[in-house]
Amino acid sequence: MEILSKIEVQVRVEEVIERIKQGLIFIHPTDTIYGLGCDATNGKAVAKLRQLKKRPGNPFSIWAPSLQWIEENGVITAEAKEWRKKLPGPYTLILQLKNKKAVSGVVNDHSANIGVRLPNHWFGRVVEKLGVPIVTTSANKAGEKFMTALENLDPEIAARVDFMVAEGVKDGRPSKIIDLTTGKVRER
């Protein structure tokens, strides 16, 4: 696994984007914790990530490339408009998916809904430049402790990801889930 710093990503951004487009699995920082990611439109990459995470079912969240992407691909109710004003931020908005082709069906387990994030983090510029969403799920196996530093990265995950963008210890918690299809707020 290659470990990249923020500066290396900025200098090699075109290469990083190309690697994501090729279907590589990677670890990325967010405004909360570290996440496992891949191109959310690439079904083979998402299936590989699902296998690595040991999570055969249940939808993954995505990191949207922009607010415009969210508006074009999600059903935006009056309540969703209010929550959208809080983005970017540490929230996952569960929206009804308007455009079923916006992500691979493997991402949301062929559900009508999608968990959408727009973290307040510099890596968002990479996702924006990529132009498509990436999967963003905690960098751990299902049911295990989430990753906050390189030191607590699961060795099996480290052996099976292609690269990591490291920026030191993350002292956050997973994002707050706002289910705009049911009106429920869930803490993880």
Segment 158-188, tens digit of pLDDT? 999 999 999 989 887 888 888 888 866 665 4
CB 146 within 8 A of CB 140: yes
Instruction: Give the pLDDT confidence of 124-139 residue by residue, as tens digits.
Output: 999 999 999 999 998 9
pLDDT attached to residue 185: 60
Rounded distance between C-alpha atoms, residue 119 and residue 117, angstroms? 6
Edge-to-edge order in the sheet of strand 137-138: 2-4, 163-165, 26-29, 34-37, 137-138
Give this prediction's pTM. Answer: 0.92
Q: Residue 3: what pLDDT? A: 94
Q: Phi and psi dihedrals of 105, rounded to 5? A: -60, -20
**How does the average pLDDT of the chain come out, rounded?**
91
Q: In the chain, what percentage of residues exceed pLDDT 70?
A: 97
User: Each residue of 40-50: pLDDT tens digit?
Assistant: 999 999 999 99
**Domains by residue range for the chain, with CATH:** 2-186 (3.90.870.10)
- For residue 137 the two structure tokens come to 């799920």
